[in-house]
Structure 1
Amino acid sequence: MCESKVAILKDGKEEIIMEDVVRIEVEGDTVKLFGLLGEMTEVKGKIKLMDMKNHKILLEG
């Protein structure tokens, strides 16, 4: 499987906001995260880093 953890950078620290993310959609300044079981979370921000080897995506808000 290719799920990733998504974290957001706040005050210089990474805070995990969702695990097992299988799809990401970017619409303007909104990032929609879709989970393995169909759940969805919307976050204001932009993608700063995508590390596919370590299954980690970092957002900056």
Structure 2
Amino acid sequence: MCIATVYVDEAGRMERVMQDVISVESENYGILLTTILGEEKLLEGKIKDIDFLKHSVIVEKDTSNK
């Protein structure tokens, strides 16, 4: 089983936003994360890096104006 920790990279600063993530889905308005316990969080941004060895996903924060 591959469980990941998700970080947001905002201008070079890394912030952990969710642990025990089992699902990462692309949605119209961002990235939907789901934990092993079913908790969900929607992040605005795009995937910058996935490292299966380190069990990490890095999301680059969307800084574009809407």
TM-score by length of 2: 0.86
| Larger gyration radius, structure 1 or structure 2 | 2
Tell me the C-alpha RMSD between the 2 structures: 1.0
C-alpha distance in 2, partners of 1:50/1:28? 20
- Which amino acid letter does the alignment assign opposite residue 22 of structure 2? V
How far does the alpha carbon of each residue in 1:18-56 deviate from its partner, in whole angstroms, 9 at most, with x for none?
Answer: 000000110234000000100000000000000001101
C-alpha distance in 2 between matches for 1:40 and 1:27? 13
Unaligned runs of 5+ in 2: 62-66
| Mapping of residues 1-61 of structure 1, within 5 Å | 1-61=1-61
- What percentage of aligned pairs have identical amino acids? 34
Q: How many residues align?
A: 61
Output the amino acid matched with 1:32.
L
For the residues of structure 1 that align with 2:28 and 2:49, how far apart are their CA atoms? 17
